[in-house]
Every structure is written in structure tokens, then in C-alpha cells.
């Protein structure tokens, strides 16, 4: 599966490719800036573990929300300790 998202001003481009037969599996981030940044995580980040981390990160913020259907955009930002 291959997906690409491009922001309206073409300054942000997100690409995702998922394969079952990837010989060189990795996750990566490239930032074209000053200085440019290239980050590669060999083997990638396991999706289920990433989901658990995101849920645990949100736990202390959820009680401050009013009842109802919410999205991640409704979560208040918190300062990390």
C-alpha cells in the first residue's frame, strides 16, 4: 500500500509505503531545512506499540474533556515533565 499527502502550499509532504515483503524495512523522516535532518529507524516502529504509546500519552488529558465524541484534535496540549 502506498499513500502520499501534500499540504496545499507543497511545503509538507507525507509518504507511507507498507509492504509484507520489504527486504530493507525501516521508518524514516527527512526534513529539508537548515540543517537538513535525515532519521532512519531500522526495522521500523511496531504499529501496535506506537498506538499504545499514543493512548497512554492521552490518558491524563481525557478527563478534562466534556462528554461526547472527541478526536485527537480536542485533546489539550500539556507540558511534558
Q: What is the mean pLDDT of each run of 10 residues along the chain (81 residues)?
A: 86 85 88 92 84 84 87 74 51
pLDDT at 41: 93
Report yes or no: 74 and 65 within 8 Å, Cβ to Cβ: yes
pLDDT at 79: 58
pLDDT at 80: 56
User: How big is the CA angle at 13 (ends 29 and 53), to the nearest 5 degrees?
Assistant: 50
Torsion of CA 32, 29, 1, 51, to 10 degrees: -140
pLDDT at 62: 85
Amino acid at each position: 500500500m502506498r499513500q502520499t499527502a501534500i499540504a496545499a502550499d507543497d511545503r509538507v509532504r507525507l509518504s507511507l509505503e507498507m509492504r509484507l515483503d520489504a527486504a530493507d524495512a525501516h521508518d524514516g523522516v527527512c526534513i529539508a531545512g537548515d540543517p537538513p535532518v535525515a532519521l532512519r529507524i531500522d526495522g521500523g516502529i511496531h504499529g501496535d506499540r506506537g498506538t499504545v504509546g499514543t493512548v497512554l500519552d492521552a490518558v491524563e488529558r481525557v478527563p478534562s474533556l466534556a462528554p461526547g465524541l472527541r478526536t485527537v484534535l480536542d485533546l489539550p496540549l500539556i507540558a511534558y515533565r
